[in-house]
């Protein structure tokens, strides 16, 4: 049987992810294409991973691999120009390299391995001009939450939920344009 604190964590995680998901869903209306259904399904996959990350500070490996593969397939289905994919990949590679270098120099792992896969696969679905706003939203949400709660900075902060919420919000505004 689950204890009360686990149930509260689950409820908070569902509420935290529900709002951006409904905005994302509303932006896709009317849902008339297979690509829209696929995007919704992938959003639900990332919500599942977000809940796992927020509850256990880890994600199931096969779920992560499947979600990343589906997300990269979705990115290909968007049929952007090769130049956009190259620029997006280079920008994401640069960001991830900087994080790895900082972790090496500080001898402190600020991000888990799953976070790197999440950043790369979710980022590939976005255009290069949306990567900055997405990462800014994804980083500001936990900062606002930590400052607002006057909470002690934890060494383990699940980052996939914030990446997912940022992706849902940015994708919703990108679809509506």
Domain range for 161: 4-175
pTM of whole model > 0.85?
Answer: yes
Mean pLDDT over 36-53 rounds to 95
Contact 87, 131 (CB under 8 A): no
C-beta neighbour count of 57 within 10 angstroms: 12
Q: Which residue has the tokens 């259904």?
A: 37
Structure tokens at 22: 């409904």
For the chain, how many structural domains are there in total? Answer: 1
Mean pLDDT over 84-94 rounds to 96
d(CA 137, CA 154): 20
Per-residue pLDDT at 157: 78
C-beta neighbour count of 117 within 10 angstroms: 19
């Amino acid at each position: 049987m689950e204890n009360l604190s686990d149930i509260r964590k689950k409820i908070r995680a569902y509420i935290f992810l529900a709002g951006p998901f409904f905005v994302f869903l509303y932006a896709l209306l009317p849902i008339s294409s297979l690509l829209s259904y696929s995007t919704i399904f992938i959003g639900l996959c990332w919500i599942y991973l977000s809940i796992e990350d927020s509850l256990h500070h880890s994600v199931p490996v096969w779920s992560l691999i499947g979600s990343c593969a589906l997300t990269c397939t979705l990115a290909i289905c968007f049929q952007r120009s090769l130049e956009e994919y190259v620029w997006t990949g280079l920008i994401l590679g640069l960001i991830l390299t900087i994080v790895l270098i900082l972790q090496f120099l500080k001898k402190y792992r600020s991000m888990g391995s799953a976070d790197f896969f999440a950043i790369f696969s979710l980022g590939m679905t976005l255009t290069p001009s949306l990567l900055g706003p997405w990462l800014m939203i994804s980083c500001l949400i936990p900062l606002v939450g930590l400052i607002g709660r006057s909470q002690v900075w934890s060494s383990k902060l699940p980052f996939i939920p914030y990446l997912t919420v940022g992706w849902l919000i940015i994708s919703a505004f990108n679809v509506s344009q």
